[in-house]
Structure formats: structure tokens, C-alpha cells
Structure 1
Amino acid sequence: MVRISAIVTGLLTYSNAVNAQAETTSLPDTGIHLTLQQAVEIAFKNNLELKQAELQSQSRKLDYKEAKAMQLPDVNGSIEHGRNQGRSIDPFTNTYLNQNIDYANYGLNSGLLLFQGLSTRHFIKQQQLASKAGEMDVQQNRDNLTLQVILAYFAVLSAEDLTVQIDNQATVSRKQVERLTILNSEGTINPSQLYDLKGQLANDEISLINTRNQLEAAKLTLSQLLNLPYDSTLRLERISPEQFLTTYEGTPAGIYQVALKELAMVKAAELRKQSAEKGVKAWKGQLWPSLSLNAGLYTNYSSAASTQQLLSSSDVPSGDYVLLNGGKEPVYTTQGSYAQQKIAYVDQFKNNYSTNVNFGIRIPILNGFTTRLQVSQSKLDLQNADIVEKTTRIRLQQSIEQAWFNMTATYKRYKALIEQVNAFQESFRTTEVRFNEGVLNSVDYLVAKNNLDRASTNLIVARYEYVFRTRILDYYQSKPLW
């Protein structure tokens, strides 16, 4: 709003040059045509600050999605392949071997947090509210940009009207110079009258040059606001200010109440305060014990894993004996003949399969007071968000009251200028008749002309200023601005 007020001030300081009331003419109908709605849409498309706000809003939405995903269980897989050389443990038999062993381990585990003082739920809500606040920021940027485009658009229209007005003033002065030049050549007037009018014509032409420069500067400002290359042939669709020049309905208090419900910046401040409240609850939940459910699937492979296959068997003395009838009789035992056979990879994958399921409770006892400090920080964030919300409401009320005062003062000034222009028009008409008849001198004529010119210029400025003042009040109520 500070920037907008500065531009309005610049609008009010347009030409101080003298002006004349004459038959209205129009500017050449050439160049690129642009309506107000098209200008706003182009600004939305090209404005980089708005794009940045939209990206930040999308980032907040991703944070919200990430928070919701925290409710899902963790699922992780692991695959490990390697080779042990020298003395190592056989992962298949869990015994020591002194040989090269190729091995592989596979695992799939999952964990789900069942309870942690509702911390996750509050955190999800915190991110959801922050995401909505980001959407309101985008809307606020759009509203501010719309106001700036409307102001720049009106500045061009006002400069066009002033250019036409001053061109008409110069035309009146030029015709008088032509008339007085003829009379002076005939010796029927005092030469000073001719030179007075030539000086007035020079002033009008200088004012016309200045106003045309102001028109091009206004076009440049609008083009830069739309991020378009400057084009001097730019033509804007005319908007008749007269359709808006009526007494504005409402009261500052009523507009303020509507703004509290409709304005994006108020909603954004409220949502951020609510988000900060959820942030406090989320960190407090971290102080509670957490309950989790975990499960896993595992299997492995070893190149040293083998099995023995029986080929044949026979009875052989065992080396032991028994006493039978006073003699020693040998004890026989069955001895098998085996062949060593590697266990297939797939068979090991199936045979070594194992699972586990467990519940775990994690009790926070001491973590460097990190969680408690975070709780304290979140409380400070909440206090700050509360202050921002209250400040937003106060400044909004003050801005509405100031905007209402400015609108009312401008409307009164506009009505007074209408009466002044009407009075000076009649005064100039009679003065011009008497001057043309040679009854009045050039000084009286120029005084009447300058009075009318100045009043006409002020009326053009006041007319567009009042329209813009009403658009600001409409903005506070989320009404259409065009």
C-alpha cells in the first residue's frame, strides 16, 4: 500500500501547466490494443514475484503431503553380496573356516509408529494449515498486482486525457495568435497583446511536450509492470470514469468487517496462527513415549554351504571290544561312504528363510533437552504469529479508514472542481468574446484562460483519482475491480 500511495502521489503531481477548455479530440487510433482485463492477465502470467509465491505455495503443499506420508509404515529392503578371505565365520554354519567364502544376505523390514502423543497428527494439521496460508499468499500477491496494474492503467488514461486537454489549449492559443497576427499587421491592436499570446502559446506547447513525455513514461511503467518490452504504440481500451463517479456506499466499519472475512492477507495470518498452535502440540507430543511395530524377513547364501550324500555303507571294527567267555571280541560299527555336495543357491534362499515381529517402546529420558527447547521455540513462534495476526487486523482497519478518508476528500474535491470548471467556462466565454471585440486586454484574457485551464486539468486528475480510491475500497471487500 505504501508503493500504491507513492504512485497516487505521482499521479496527483501531473502537469501544472495552464490548460484551455475546447472541443474534445481523440488520440490517433494506432498501435497495440490492450484491455484492462488483458493487462491483468498478462501481469499474472509474466510477474516473477507472483511465480515465486506460487512456487512457495507448491512447496508448502509438498510439505503437507510429506507429513501425511509419515502415517505410512517404513518398508526397506537390503541386499549384500561379498567375499571373505582367510579365517572367517561361515554364515551358513556359523563356524570358523579358513577359506574363501562368497556370501549373500537379503532382508526386508518394516516399521510402523503406532503412538507418539498424537505428535504426527498435530504435525500433519500444522502443515495443512501452512499450505492453505501459502495459497492465501498467492491470492494476496494477485490482489496487490491487480491494484498496481489498475493504477498504472489509469495513469496512462489520465495522461492521455491531459494530453488531449493541453493540445486543445494549445489549439485555442494558436488560433488567437493567428488572429492577432493579422490584426497587428493591420495596426489595429497593441503589439504587446500579440506577444502575450505568443508567450502563452509557447507555454502550452512546452506543457504539451511535458505531458506527452509523461504519457510515454506511464506506458513504460505499465509495460515494465507487465514484463513486456516498451512499445510507444501501445493503446489501451478507454474506460469512462463517469460510470464510477457516484457516491460510494458503505462505512469504514462495515468495509472492515467484510475485509476480515474476505481478504486473503487476513486469512493467511489466521491460518499461520492456527498452524503455530498445532506446532506447539506436535512438539509436546515428542515428550511422550512412542510405541512402534516392527517386522522383518531375512535369508542368506554361502558358497561354503554343502551337504553329504550317502553312497554306501559297511561294517568295520570300531577298535572297541567286549569280554565274552573270557576272551575279547571286537565291536563292529557301520561306516558310510559320503560324497560332499554344494547346496544350490535357490535351495539356500528357501532353507535359510526367517522372520521376526516385535513391538517396541521408546521412552524419552534425556536428549540434551532438545525436545523441550523445541517446545519453547514453538511457543515463541505462536506468540509471534498471534502478534502478526493482530497487527494485520490493526493495520487493515487503519488502511481502510485512511482509504475512506482519501476517497471522501477526493469526491468532495471532484464535485467542487465541477462547479469551478463550469464557472470558469462561463467566465472564459464572456472574456473571450470581449477580448475578440477589443474591449479587454490580453492580461485579462490570459487570467481567465489560465483559470479555466488549471481547473480543467485538476478535474481530470481528480476524476481518475476518485475512481482509483473507490477501487481500493472495493479491493478490501473482494469486489470485482473492473
Structure 2
Amino acid sequence: MKLKLTATLSIFCVGIMMAQEKKWTLRDCVEYALEHNISIKQSELDLQNADLAKADAKGNFLPTVNANASHSWNIGLNQNITTGLFENITTQYTSAGVNVGVDIYNGLQNVNRLRRANLSILANQYRLDNMKDDISLAVANAYLQILFNREYLNISKAQISVTEQDLKRTKELVSSGVVPKGDLLEIQATAATQEQQKINAENALRLAKISLAQLLLIQEYESFDVVDEDFMIPSTVILDYTPKTIYEKALTVRNDIKLSEANVALAETDIKISKGSLYPRLSAFYGYNTRASYQDIVSGAEQDPDNPNRQIGVVQETGQSVVTPNFRSIISGPNNIFEQFGDNGGHGFGVQLAIPVFNGFATRNNVMRSKVNLERSKLQLQQDKLNLENTINQAWNDAIATYKAYEAAEKTLEARSEALKYAKERFNVGLMNSFNFSQAQSRVDNAAAELIRTKYDYIFRLKVLEFYFGLPISIN
């Protein structure tokens, strides 16, 4: 049992270590962000509300059916339905009914509301997709920032390794009297500076990882890391297209433009709905109502045994009394409630025409307000198109500029590296002092950092252009 428990704990610990050591790809990060982002979840709820609004719009075509029931007690002076007299009694009544109403014509408002509901679903879907695009781009930017800081840290470590070798060589030269001790101090200062740069690079990498982890809503960000890959300049044909071509393609694929176009269609439908209130409204109705009473009723009559006859007159010639049987009412309890409902039921139906005449300019103002909203939506669409065109032109120019900067940084690093080799040869034979040698090393360090910066800056600019062209975000 102890052996099994130990094996189980070992497997559990290994599982935890594997979970902690997982390294995320860009695709992993994007998919996780799209699944867990709070703004996306809120937008998905908005889409669900739009679906419910469509169900409401469909329901407007169906008849309205309402049932009612009531039971009342009347205490005090009430008419006795048995005797017809007013008495101080308590009476009970139950009534029930059902009413049905249906719109026959209401200015096509129900039709237009259904159209609007469909457009609203489409608009919310575009809004959700646009939010996903923006988050994907933000994740890609944060991911590239980690790669940049990691590569810069690797270069810093490599520079320290080279400086340590130079420091060892300088100690030997100082011992042999080839170079003064001041050169050794200069190299030691350079090593200390590079160590500080490495610490700064480690902090920058850690902050970049935390930033991406927080963007993904990952709480255990201390163990968060991305895959170890060396991303080179990706091959792409996006720069073969002109900004105008990319813009024209973006108009057909960008969700923010589709959203603005859907908002224009929504505003146009709102005008039709508002104008529908200007037309007469024709509706039909049907109602059924019934009632029941809990009072005693007269169920029949019988001859009064105590007074079987009663005089109704006298024969004038003979004086003989004219009598008739004396009947009295037979009082019994109320009929069965369901029988009363059946006997007392009544129907009512008809059509109703409502013609709007004057309502304080409310309908007219609603129409004008809808027209204003339409113009605002059209202007917003134009502004979004202008913003998209400006963004694409700026992104295209930035991509060209950063690529040229990358090429220049590459040439600069190559030249600085050759200069450093020459300086090192001169330093080793005592023809260059440590200060000038340190300056040559510093220029190489700066050139290497600039090459990394321009590299990832260019990669991100390419991703932005491809993003606007409708291509999925990837680095490979």
C-alpha cells in the first residue's frame, strides 16, 4: 500500500511539473485568450441577447392569449338573488375568461422589427469577431515582445562570455607587462556594465512574460513561458501589394467596417419602424367570459301544505271566493360550479381600427430622430473607412521603413563586428588602449541590440499588414 501511494504521489508531482513547464506557442496564447477574455465573454452575452430579441420579434406575429380568473366576497348590503331583496348578507362570485388579440396590420412594424433583429444579430457577431481580432493582435504583439527580450538577453549573455575571455587575456597581458593595469580596470568596468545590462534584460523578459500572462488572465504567471524558438524574418508577399490594394481587400474582410455597415442598415430599419407608427393599426380580438355564484337558488315550486290555497277574487253575483293553489318556492344550494360556467358563458369578438391623429409630435419626432441616427451611422462608416485607409498606409510605410532599418542595422552590426576584431588584434599586441577597445565593444553591443529591435519591429509591422489583408495571425 505504501508503495502504491508513493507511486501515485510521484505521478501527481510529475503532472504538476509538466503543467508548470508547459511552454506556450503563439497559437496557444491566442486560442486561450479568445476563450477566457472577459470582454469577449461579455460580447458573447450581447449576442445571446440579440438572439432573444429575434425571438421577441417572431413572437409579435403570433396572437396574444391571456386568461383571467377572479373570486370575490361582497359583505354588507347586497341583493339576495334568491329573493330579489336587499339584505345584509355575504355573497361570493367566481368569474373566468380568456382573451385573444392579433394584429392584422400595423404599418409593417412587426416585419421591420424582425429584419432589425436579424441585423442586430449580424452586428453583434461582427462586434464579437472584431474584438477577437483586436485581442489576437494584442497577444501577438505581447508574444513578440517576449521573443525580443529573450533574444536580447541571449546576446547579453554571449557578450559577457566574450568579455570574460577578454578579461582573462588582459590579465595575462598585464602580468607580462604588455598593457598597463589601467586597461585591466577598464575591461573590468565593461564586464560590470554588461552584467548590469544582462540583469536589465532579465527583468524586461520577466515583465514581458507577466504582461502576456495577465493579458491571458493567467494567475500563475511566475511559471508562464513561451516556446524556445528562433524566429527569423518571415517570408511574405504582403509588401508586393500597394496600400490601395490592401485597403480594398480590408474593406471586404475587416469586421469593424462590416459592423459600421450593419449599423447603417439598422438605422435605416429604425426609420421604417418609426414611420410604421404613422399608419392606422387594424387588430382583431376575441373574448370568452363566464361566471358562477355560490348563493342559494330557486330550483322549483310546491303547494304550501299549511296554506294550500289563496283567494284571488270574489264572484260578484254570488259572493263566492275565487281561490287558486298557493305555491311556495323550493330553495336549494347553488348548481355545480362547472355547470354554471357552461350555462353562463358568453363570447365576444370583433375588429378594432386605431387611426393616429395627434400625439404631441411624438411619432414625428421619433421619425426625425431615426433619420438623425442614420446620418450619424453613415458618417461613422465614412470615418471608419478613412481611419482604416490611414492605418494601412501608415502600417505599410512603417513596414518598409523598419525593413530598411533592419537591413541597415544588419550591415552596421557586421561592420562593427569586423571593427571589433581588428580592435581586438591591436589591443592584444598593445597598439590600442582598453578605453578605445571598450568603445568598440560597446558599439557592437548597441548594434546587436538595434538589430534585434528592428527585426521584431519589422515582424510586427508585417503581421499588422497581413492582419488587415485578412490573413490569420502567425509568426512562422
TM-score with structure 1 setting the length? 0.87
Give the root-mean-square deviation of aligned CA atoms.
2.4
State the alpha-carbon separation in 2 of the partners of residues 116 and 350 from structure 1.
36
**One-letter amino acid of the counterpart of residue 253, structure 2:** E
Q: How does 1:279-428 map to 2 (within 5 A)?
A: 279-304=270-295, 306-311=297-302, 316=309, 318-321=311-314, 326-327=317-318, 330-342=321-333, 343-428=335-420
**Matched-pair contact (CA < 8 Å) for 2:72–2:94:** yes
1:316 positional shift: 4.1
Deviations 1:145-173 (A, max 9, x none): 11111111110111000000011111111
State the alpha-carbon separation in 2 of the partners of residues 103 and 242 from structure 1.
88
Match of 2:15 in 1: none
- Greater shift after overlay, 372-381 or 91-100? 91-100
1:310 positional shift: 3.6
Q: Which runs of 5+ in 2 are unaligned?
A: 1-19
**One-letter amino acid of the counterpart of residue 320, structure 1:** G
Q: Which runs of 5+ in 1 are unaligned?
A: 1-29
State the alpha-carbon separation in 2 of the partners of residues 194 and 104 from structure 1.
110
Match of 2:168 in 1: 178
Equivalent position to 2:211, from 221, 224, 228:
221
Q: 1:171 to 1:287 in 2, by over 3 A?
A: same
TM-score with structure 2 setting the length? 0.88
State the alpha-carbon separation in 2 of the partners of residues 151 and 355 from structure 1.
71
State the alpha-carbon separation in 1 of the partners of residues 175 and 355 from structure 2.
110
**One-letter amino acid of the counterpart of residue 275, structure 2:** K
Equivalent position to 2:459, from 462, 467, 471:
467
**Matched-pair contact (CA < 8 Å) for 1:112–1:292:** yes
1:357 positional shift: 1.0
Match of 2:117 in 1: 127
Equivalent position to 1:205, from 180, 195, 200:
195
1:449 positional shift: 2.1
Match of 1:167 in 2: 157
**Matched-pair contact (CA < 8 Å) for 1:61–1:131:** yes
Match of 1:45 in 2: 35
Equivalent position to 1:36, from 22, 26, 38:
26
State the alpha-carbon separation in 2 of the partners of residues 296 and 246 from structure 1.
72
* Bigger RCO (CA 8 Å, 6+ sep): 1
- Greater shift after overlay, 207-216 or 242-251? 242-251
Equivalent position to 2:135, from 130, 134, 145:
145
State the alpha-carbon separation in 2 of the partners of residues 177 and 243 from structure 1.
35
1:155 maps onto 2:148 in alignment: no
Identical-pair percentage: 28
State the alpha-carbon separation in 2 of the partners of residues 92 and 262 from structure 1.
81
State the alpha-carbon separation in 2 of the partners of residues 253 and 92 from structure 1.
93
Match of 1:55 in 2: 45
1:189 maps onto 2:218 in alignment: no
1:246 positional shift: 4.7
